[in-house]
């Protein structure tokens, strides 16, 4: 299966617009994120939501992700092990239903985790971007939606691509206006 149909009109396909430039899209307003999540779910995407606002350590991050994605008991709870387990996720060994249209890993309040643990927060997004690219090679759609309560948050490029704001909040004026 192709990740997207080149013959289809993709102008209204939110998933296509999310991944065309980056595998990790930022969201500020919850209603914009919630609308995107609803759109994805209605089209058969598996949407896994994690609240990162209370993560103050990598232990918190690894615990939440391993539970949400049903990682095996031998999961090593470090970034290398996370990378390995996400490879298994894109193979549908666990954590991602093979019958789903695609897989969206959603982080709420990610700015709190990025403030508490900036290096692991950046590394996690980079790993997801790399696994997203690998999933696409096999015709699978995987990406991450990252909600931040800080409308000015920025991340270094991930997977050699920038972390961008979603189409609806791309302009600073749409996020920074009262």
pLDDT score recorded for residue 133: 92
The correct CATH number of 27-176 out of 3.60.21.10, 2.40.100.10, 3.30.370.10, 3.30.110.30 is 3.30.370.10
Over residues 66-120, the pLDDT tens digits come to 999 999 999 999 999 999 999 999 999 999 999 999 999 999 999 999 999 999 9
How far apart (Å, rounded) are the C-alpha atoms in residues 124 and 27? Answer: 17
pLDDT score recorded for residue 161: 80
Q: What tokens does 80 get?
A: 């290398």
Contact 140, 90 (CB under 8 A): yes
Domain residue extents for the chain: 27-176
- What does the chain come to in residues? 178
pLDDT score recorded for residue 2: 57
State residue 161 phi and psi, 5-degree precision: -130, 155
Q: What tokens does 34 get?
A: 């919630």
pLDDT score recorded for residue 177: 76
DSSP 43: T
């Amino acid at each position: 299966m192709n990740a997207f149909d080149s013959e289809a009109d993709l102008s209204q396909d939110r998933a296509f617009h999310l991944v065309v430039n980056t595998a990790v899209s930022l969201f500020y307003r919850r209603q914009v994120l919630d609308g995107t999540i609803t759109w994805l779910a209605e089209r058969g995407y598996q949407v896994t939501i994690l609240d990162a606002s209370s993560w103050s350590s990598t232990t918190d991050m690894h615990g939440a992700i391993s539970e949400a994605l049903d990682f095996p008991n031998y999961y090593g709870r470090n970034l290398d092990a996370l990378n390995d387990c996400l490879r298994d996720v894109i193979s549908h060994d666990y954590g991602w239903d093979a019958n789903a249209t695609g897989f969206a890993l959603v982080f709420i309040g990610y700015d709190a985790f990025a403030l508490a643990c900036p290096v692991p927060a950046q590394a996690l997004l980079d790993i997801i971007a790399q696994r997203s690219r690998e999933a696409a090679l096999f015709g699978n759609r995987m990406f991450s939606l990252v909600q931040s309560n800080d409308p000015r948050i920025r991340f270094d490029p991930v997977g050699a691509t920038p972390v961008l704001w979603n189409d609806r909040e791309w302009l600073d004026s749409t996020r920074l206006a009262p």
